[in-house]
């Protein structure tokens, strides 16, 4: 069942009449007939002429008919049935004919009527009005049936119907006024005798009866049919009392006929208004139900998202555990081999380098996860993108193997950029790894850089970028490419086309997160069989000269004499940090928690810098420890460290420098000296 069919079942036009409704309609007809029978013997009693009666009566009648017509047209706009359009036109035409009738009626506004009316004008307008209405109702009754054709363009049909009613009204008034001398005389003074003798009034009665019989025989029994039959019965009482039983204007039958006419018009309007109120009630109930369903849907979405996250975590756990097990195997194996034969320096250095590389790969994986979660701190610095790519070329080449040669297309005038070096390298390595997986049979990897200025002309091409200077870093492969469905989801977290355990689906989402965190954007162009090109658009730092990328040498010569208090609850990390700083020339003291550190400082321990982990047991974090140390010893500088990022920690105002774990000792030394040179908090 279509939406229109479901809607039609709730409207008067198609809703089946219930037994109580049929009973009410029958009772209304019986009451009307009883009043008719009671008034008929007195129909020709002459009553006083009340000129104000007709304008008041027909104003109410016009209002009822026009409102009824509009409501029926509204139903037609929904149901699109031609029968309903004819019925709506009947009421609309009736409402339009009433104003010219009352304006041309003798004695209503002037002795001879307005609009150039003559003695016969109002009578002919009345007759056309009362002929057309039952004719249109008969048309409605004939067309209305189950499965009747619907208007394909309801708006056009509705407009044409309104225009036709207006045109017929204008034509009727024009003929009744302009050709009044040529029209037959249908009324003499106030007498209807000639209308009766000519058979005009009987014809209206017969036509009304015909409409009533057609609807009754059709037997559809809708609510609208039932009440249209009631209206026709009342309309029939009006016609008989006015122009058959009655004989003159302003006699009892004429006044009674007007009352029947207004009652009949109000009946259907009342039913439509009751229906409208019921529809509003249904709408209100539907809105309440919709709101409840929206809440339920929101809860379902949250549960689905939770289930998807759990599923993603399960997939992620397998992939990450596999990677970490490989890395731990490399580290543990190297350390075990070193411990067996520590007296061979070259072998020890080679194994130590292998363990270091494995640990760095583990740190890179953690950075990816934290970056995806937006908890990884970014340390933006000026970088030469060409230098970054040149430095990574060897590492990428080892990752890709000999089957995938690397081509560099670096613009020598590429501007420096401001970004986190480690994150940029991780993003490029991710893209290289994806390119390798897309070229299982080999191919070519192309790395390119170029400058990009986004102004008014380029804004339409790059709507995601703010106007300014950028550097485009592109990674292109000649692999399998992606179809549209894959392309649309490529940056979604945990989305991967690889088998379970072969990838976490974090690679491209990490690249996307890095680009956005750096103030840029990333685009992906690909077609099946045509490879893929991923371009990072990173803000240029045009105010400075390009600087070399990657790591900086540790400033060893400034370490001598610097006193450091290291606070770390992990004893293995504490021992490694102590020995590393000592080898670099620092004087190192240590504590395993904040309470011990404060006690040592209170006992007179002289230090230049506090290096503390943020997350520590005992109820006092590294951040709170830093605040207390600054109050106790304002001259002591502070450097904090954490496996989380600054964005994921509450460091408060005047936040000290933060070094993200894991770190190398040279990097630690450089950050310590930066902290020592920092202005007092």
The Cβ of residue 32 has, within 10 Å, a number of other Cβ atoms equal to 21
Which of the four pLDDT bands, split at 50, 70 and 90, describes residue 6? very low
Beta bridge partners of 664: none
Structure-block tokens of residue 269: 């309007």
Closest CA to 375 of 12, 650, 668: 650
The Cβ of residue 112 has, within 10 Å, a number of other Cβ atoms equal to 13
602's CB contacts (< 8 A; 6+ apart) are 632
Structure-block tokens of residue 503: 């990838």
How distant is the alpha carbon of residue 452 from its chain centre? Answer: 33
Q: Torsions phi, psi of 613, nearest 5? A: -75, 145
- Report the SS3 class of residue 478: coil
Under 8 Å between Cβ of 670 and 554: yes
How does pLDDT run across 54-92, given as a tens digit for each residue?
A: 888 889 888 988 998 898 888 888 888 898 899 899 999
Tell me how far apart the alpha carbons of residues 681 and 674 are, in angstroms, rounded to a whole number.
14
Under 8 Å between Cβ of 400 and 406: yes
Q: Give the pLDDT score at 219.
A: 62
146-163 mean pLDDT: 88
Summary mean pLDDT of the chain = 78
Q: What percent of the chain has pLDDT over 70?
A: 78
Tell me how far apart the alpha carbons of residues 538 and 384 are, in angstroms, rounded to a whole number.
12
The segment with the largest mean pLDDT, out of 85-89, 357-361, 370-374, 379-383, is 85-89
Torsion of CA 542, 544, 549, 553, to 10 degrees: -170
Q: Give the pLDDT score at 399.
A: 64
DSSP per-residue letters across 413-446: TPPPEEE-HHHHHHHHHHHHHHHHHH-TT---EE
Given a cut of 70, whether residue 241 has pLDDT beyond it is yes
177-193 mean pLDDT: 80
Under 8 Å between Cβ of 12 and 75: yes
Residue 582 parent element (H or E): helix 571-583
Q: Torsions phi, psi of 461, nearest 5? A: -80, -30
Q: Determine the straight-line distance between the first and last CA of the chain, rounded to whole angstroms.
A: 73
Tell me how far apart the alpha carbons of residues 218 and 173 are, in angstroms, rounded to a whole number.
35
Tell me how far apart the alpha carbons of residues 426 and 510 are, in angstroms, rounded to a whole number.
9
Of the ranges 190-204, 566-580, 661-675, which one carries the lowest mean pLDDT score? 190-204
Torsion of CA 536, 538, 542, 546, to 10 degrees: -60
The segment with the largest mean pLDDT, out of 240-244, 419-423, 506-510, 561-565, is 561-565
The Cβ of residue 261 has, within 10 Å, a number of other Cβ atoms equal to 25
539-560 mean pLDDT: 51
Torsion of CA 237, 241, 243, 248, to 10 degrees: -150
The Cβ of residue 104 has, within 10 Å, a number of other Cβ atoms equal to 28
Which residue's structure tokens are 């034969």? 341
In which order are the strands placed within the sheet that holds 657-660?
587-591, 563-567, 609-613, 637-642, 657-660
Structure-block tokens of residue 224: 């609208």
Tell me how far apart the alpha carbons of residues 48 and 498 are, in angstroms, rounded to a whole number.
97
144-148 mean pLDDT: 78
Q: Give the pLDDT score at 226.
A: 81
Residue 323 parent element (H or E): helix 252-340
Q: Torsions phi, psi of 52, nearest 5? A: -75, -15
The segment with the largest mean pLDDT, out of 395-404, 482-491, 513-522, 634-643, is 634-643
Tell me how far apart the alpha carbons of residues 157 and 77 are, in angstroms, rounded to a whole number.
9
Which of the four pLDDT bands, split at 50, 70 and 90, describes residue 215? confident
How does pLDDT run across 285-331, given as a tens digit for each residue?
A: 778 888 888 888 777 766 655 554 455 455 445 555 656 676 677 77
Angle between helices 223-240 and 19-39 (to 10 degrees): 0
Structure-block tokens of residue 518: 């750096």
Q: Give the pLDDT score at 493.
A: 58
pTM above 0.75, yes or no: no
Given a cut of 70, whether residue 555 has pLDDT beyond it is no
């Amino acid at each position: 069942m279509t939406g229109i069919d479901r809607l039609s079942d709730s409207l008067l036009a198609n809703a089946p009449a219930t037994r109580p409704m049929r009973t009410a309609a029958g009772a209304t007809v019986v009451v009307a007939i009883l009043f008719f029978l009671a008034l008929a013997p007195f129909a020709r009693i002459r009553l006083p002429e009340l000129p104000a009666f007709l304008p008041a009566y027909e104003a109410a009648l016009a209002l009822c008919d026009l409102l009824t017509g509009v409501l029926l047209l509204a139903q037609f706009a929904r149901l699109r049935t031609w029968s309903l359009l004819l019925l709506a036109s009947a009421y609309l035409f009736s409402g339009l004919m009433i104003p010219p009738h009352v304006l041309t009626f003798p004695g209503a506004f002037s002795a001879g009527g307005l609009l150039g009316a003559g003695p016969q004008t109002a009578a002919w307008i009345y007759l056309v009005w009362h002929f057309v209405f039952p004719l249109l109702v008969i048309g409605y009754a004939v067309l209305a049936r189950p499965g009747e054709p619907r208007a394909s363009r309801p708006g056009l049909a509705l407009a044409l119907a309104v225009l036709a009613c207006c045109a017929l009204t204008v034509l009727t008034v024009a003929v009744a006024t302009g050709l009044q001398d040529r029209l037959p005389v249908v009324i003499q003074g106030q007498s209807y005798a000639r209308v009766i003798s000519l058979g005009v009034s009987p014809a209206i009665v017969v036509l009304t009866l015909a409409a009533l019989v057609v609807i009754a025989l059709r037997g559809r029994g809708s609510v609208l049919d039932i009440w249209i039959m009631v209206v026709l019965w009342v309309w029939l009482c009006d016609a008989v009392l006015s122009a058959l039983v009655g004989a003159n204007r302003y006699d009892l039958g004429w006044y009674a006929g007007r009352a029947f006419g207004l009652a009949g018009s109000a009946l259907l309007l009342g039913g439509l208004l009751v229906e409208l109120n019921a529809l509003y009630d249904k709408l209100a109930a539907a809105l309440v139900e919709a709101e409840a369903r929206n809440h339920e849907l929101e809860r379902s979405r949250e549960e689905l998202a939770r289930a998807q996250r759990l599923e993603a975590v399960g997939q992620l756990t397998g992939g990450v555990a596999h990677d970490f097990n490989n890395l731990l195997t490399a580290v543990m194996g190297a350390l075990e081999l070193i411990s067996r034969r520590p007296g061979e320096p070259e072998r020890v250095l080679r194994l130590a380098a292998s363990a270091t590389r494995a640990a760095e790969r583990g740190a890179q994986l953690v950075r990816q996860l934290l970056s995806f979660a937006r908890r990884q701190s970014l340390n933006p610095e000026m970088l030469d993108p060409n230098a970054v790519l040149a430095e990574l070329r060897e590492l990428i080449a080892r990752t890709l193997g000999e089957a995938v040669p690397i081509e560099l297309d670096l613009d020598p005038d590429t501007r420096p950029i401001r970004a986190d070096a480690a994150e940029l390298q991780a993003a490029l390595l991710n893209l290289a790894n994806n390119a390798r997986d897309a070229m299982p049979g080999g191919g070519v990897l192309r790395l390119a850089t170029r400058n990009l200025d986004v102004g008014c002309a380029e804004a339409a091409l790059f709507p995601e970028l703010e106007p300014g200077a950028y550097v485009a870093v592109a990674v292109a492969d000649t692999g399998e490419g992606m179809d549209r469905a894959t392309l649309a989801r490529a940056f979604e977290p945990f989305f991967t086309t690889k088998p379970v355990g072969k990838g976490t689906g974090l690679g491209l989402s990490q690249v996307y997160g890095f680009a956005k965190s750096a103030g840029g954007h990333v685009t992906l162009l690909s077609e099946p069989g045509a490879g893929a090109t991923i371009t990072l658009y990173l803000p240029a730092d045009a105010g400075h000269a390009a600087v070399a990328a990657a790591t900086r040498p540790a400033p060893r010569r400034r370490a001598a004499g610097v006193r450091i208090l290291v606070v770390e609850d992990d004893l293995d990390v504490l021992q490694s940090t102590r020995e590393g700083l000592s080898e670099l020339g620092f004087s190192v003291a240590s504590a395993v928690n904040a309470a011990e550190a404060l006690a040592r400082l209170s006992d007179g321990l002289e230090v230049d810098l506090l290096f503390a982990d943020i997350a520590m047991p005992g109820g006092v974090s590294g951040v709170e420890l830093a605040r207390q140390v600054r109050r106790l010893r304002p001259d002591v500088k502070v450097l904090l460290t954490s496996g989380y990022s600054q964005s994921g920690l509450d460091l408060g105002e005047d936040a000290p420098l933060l070094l993200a774990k894991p770190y190398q000792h040279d990097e630690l030394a450089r950050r310590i000296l930066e902290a020592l040179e920092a202005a007092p908090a």
